[in-house]
């Protein structure tokens, strides 16, 4: 997985992580990590990681959604 962290520009703001899932193995690791972070406390670095992972999984799912693929099958 590729990860970048954008550091907060001002005091009181949170850093933002950006994660890109590139492989099925990354996807599986991300979903396991999401489960592990499920009870993270709001505002912590773990919560920031959880939000970034959830967004990365949503992005992966959108790119790999094959909801209409059945139409192409004989």
Q: Name which residue leads in pLDDT, 7 or 43.
A: 43
Q: How does pLDDT run across 35-46, given as a tens digit for each residue?
A: 999 888 888 888
Residue 12: pLDDT above 70?
no
Backbone dihedral angles phi then psi of residue 19, each to the nearest 5 degrees:
-120, 135
Residue 6: pLDDT above 70?
no
What's the whole-model pTM score?
A: 0.71
- Give the SS3 label for residue 57: helix
- The domain spans of the chain are 2-64
Span 24-35, average pLDDT: 93
Span 39-67, average pLDDT: 87
Distance CA 15, CA 3 (A): 13
């Amino acid at each position: 997985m590729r990860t970048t962290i954008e550091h907060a520009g001002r005091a009181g703001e949170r850093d933002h992580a950006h994660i890109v899932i590139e492989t099925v193995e990354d996807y599986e690791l991300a979903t396991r990590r999401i489960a592990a972070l499920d009870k993270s406390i709001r505002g912590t670095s773990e919560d920031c990681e959880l939000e970034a992972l959830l967004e990365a999984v949503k992005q992966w799912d959108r790119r790999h959604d094959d909801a209409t693929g059945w139409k192409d099958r004989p």
